[in-house]
Amino acid sequence: MATIQEKGYGHWDGRLIERRLPWWPITRTAIRMAFRTRHFKFFFSGAFIPAIVYLVGIYVSERLDDFRFMIKGSEKFLVINPGYFKSYLTGDFLIFMMVLLMVFSGAGLIADDLKFNALQLYFARPLKKKDYLLGKAAVVGFFVLLLTLIPAVLFIIFKLIFSGNFEFLTSYPWLPASIAGYSLLITAFFACYTLLLSALSKNRRYVAIMIFAVYFFSDIIFGIFNGIFNNPYFSLLSLKANIQQIGAVFFGQKPPFDVPWPLSLAVLVAVCVLAGVALNKRIRGVEVIR
């Protein structure tokens, strides 16, 4: 180790700035850190497989005659309409990959700060609690939007390019708003879900297990109860089922379960409210034991 004062201390002659987005350094740094996590790049790349498949589907749908030998009666899956977008955005594999990315990029967002006492360093800066939380939530938002909003917008653009006209957009003028609305809702939900669980433990491994387990067990419990009682209302227990219900509503499709969609929305909102309460309690500059 070098001896201290090997180089002298000089005063900094710059000026501290007021950032319009004070949380942005938190987000940027956390995203960079996520890519340094082992195996993350592999799973991150894998998460784009559905997007690539659906993009190829859009291309093929415009060249059905050229690819007829490959499709062999699967044309019904290649009808590009809001249902196609709903099928992509609420697909089991995509949601699974989003959960997986949350495990890698989101588990330690708050848990590590709690474990290594970093919160006091954040709040010793001119940073408000909402800036801190926004910075952390934006990390989740970045990955979720990268898998929902961006591919869906690209689908529309490529559909227009491949078809060479604007007929698709004129047929479904509300589709971009649906994509944006659903993507933002799902982003808000995953941000709250991940941060809630990340704030509940100081151990990122436990958090990672919880992110995975809560998602899967909620679906398994739904499957078990639905199998026994044959009651669709048990779908409210499943996070995935609720997401798919809401997704169907956003894209004007029939919800997969015979349950009023506001109830599914209420479940997702309840998770967000719970997250708000827990985060407000857990995130403090200093731990005050009264």
Q: Which residues bind another protein (CB under 8 A)?
A: 1-12, 14, 16-19, 22, 25-26, 29, 33, 36-37, 108, 112-113, 115-118, 120-128, 284-286, 288-290
Angle, vertex CA 181, rays to CA 217 and CA 162, nearest 5:
105
Shortest CB 24 distance to another protein, Å: 9
Are 232 and 226 in contact by the 8 Å Cβ rule? The answer is yes
d(CA 145, CA 191): 11
AA letter at 219:
D
Nearer to another protein, 276 or 285 (CB): 285
AA letter at 112:
D
Shortest CB 269 distance to another protein, Å: 31
Nearer to another protein, 7 or 76 (CB): 7
Shortest CB 106 distance to another protein, Å: 14
Give residue for tokens 């006492």. Answer: 117
Nearer to another protein, 18 or 65 (CB): 18
Nearest to 57 by CA among 27, 78, 71: 78
Nearer to another protein, 12 or 69 (CB): 12
3-class state of residue 143 by DSSP: helix
Nearer to another protein, 127 or 137 (CB): 127
d(CA 259, CA 192): 24
d(CA 236, CA 234): 5
Nearer to another protein, 2 or 228 (CB): 2
CA atoms within 13 A on the CB side of 229: 11
Tokens of 180: 């944006």
Nearer to another protein, 11 or 76 (CB): 11
Shortest CB 100 distance to another protein, Å: 19
Shortest CB 178 distance to another protein, Å: 37
Shortest CB 41 distance to another protein, Å: 15
d(CA 160, CA 172): 12
AA letter at 15:
R
Shortest CB 32 distance to another protein, Å: 8
> Using DSSP, how many helices (H) and how many strands (E) does the chain show?
15, 0
Nearer to another protein, 12 or 166 (CB): 12
Any idea how long the chain is? 290
d(CA 281, CA 275): 10
AA letter at 235:
S
Shortest CB 136 distance to another protein, Å: 12
